[in-house]
Amino acid sequence: MINLQNSALLLIEFQNEWLREDGKLNHLLSDRAQFFSSQNNAKNIIECARTTGINIIHSGLTFSKEYKELGKATHGLRAAIPQNKTFLEKTDASEFTKPFIPEKHEFKVSGRIGSSAFSGSNLDAYLRNNRITHLFMMGYALHVCVESTLRAAHDLGYESIVIEDASSAFNQEQKEYFLQHVIHHFGSTMKSIDFINFLKRGTIYERQ
């Protein structure tokens, strides 16, 4: 049985870089209907979650001015992030967006340097020290950082559930590929309404 005490809600990159219209990553989300729907569902979830006892975790990306953490990479996100100057520290773009700004009692992941929320961070230590075994996650982009976090969580022994309609890929084709060919290897999915019902009940039986 899954209950609120052994579970956590992980929000991945609910930052201005994604959510604000002038964010550098916002324009990459070509499927606007999917994106806006995910935002609305995520808002409903965080509002409900804050009235319950579930652990709430925020994971964002923030890099120093010269991106020294990423080295001199020539490919992948380690090259693209400095090139596009995204998630730069002490800028509005890297700040969390209302209503997803972490509250006092909520945990904000620190030390993260990669696509996975576990990469270089204190997330695993927080989960283990608080006896959290089930991780519900939502955020951006579904087929990049959410998927990377899902894979890492699986390998570390956590039961992971992606809230699929509170997350968005750049387009529907990418989302469908994730749902049809990726998720079953590393976890499962849930709709936002079902997660909200879980929050209200406080418990849910694991799928057989």
Q: Looking at residue 205, what is its pLDDT?
A: 63
Residue 208, pLDDT score: 43
Give pLDDT, residue 143. Answer: 97
Where the chain has pLDDT below 70, the residues are: 205-208
Beta-carbon contacts of 35 under 8 Å, excluding residues fewer than 6 positions away, are 29, 168
Report how far residue 123's alpha carbon sits from residue 107's, in angstroms, rounded to the nearest whole number.
9
Kindly state the tokens that stand for 102: 């972490």
> Which CATH code is given to the segment(s) 2-60+98-204?
3.40.50.850
Q: Are 19 and 159 in contact (CB under 8 A)?
A: no
